[in-house]
Copies of this chain bind each other. A is one copy, B any other.
Amino acid sequence: MTTEKRRAPAGAAVLRGEITSAIRAAVMQELAEVGYGRLSIEAVARRAGVSKTAIYRRWRSKLDLVLDMVSAAAGRNLPLLDTGSLLGDLEILLHVMARALRHRLASQIIPDLLAEAARNPQIAEKLQAALDDYQQAVGRILIGRAVERGELSPDTDRRAAVDLIVGPVYWRMAISRAPLDVEEVPRLASAIVAALRVACLGPVRDEVEV
Chain A contacts to B: CB under 8 angstroms: 32-38, 107-108, 111-112, 114-116, 118-119, 128, 131, 135, 157, 159-160, 162-164, 166-172, 175-178, 181, 183-184, 186-188, 190-199, 201, 204, 208
Q: How far is the CB of A186 from chain B (nearest CB, A)?
A: 8
**8 A–B contacts from the bound complex (CB under 8 Å):** A37-B37, A115-B115, A135-B176, A166-B171, A168-B168, A192-B195, A194-B198, A195-B195
B184 touches A119 (CB 8 A): no
Contact of A199 (CB < 8 Å), options: B116, B176, B191 = B191
Dominant secondary structure at the A interface: helix
B108 touches A112 (CB 8 A): no
CB nearest to A181 among chain B residues: B204
B175 touches A114 (CB 8 A): yes
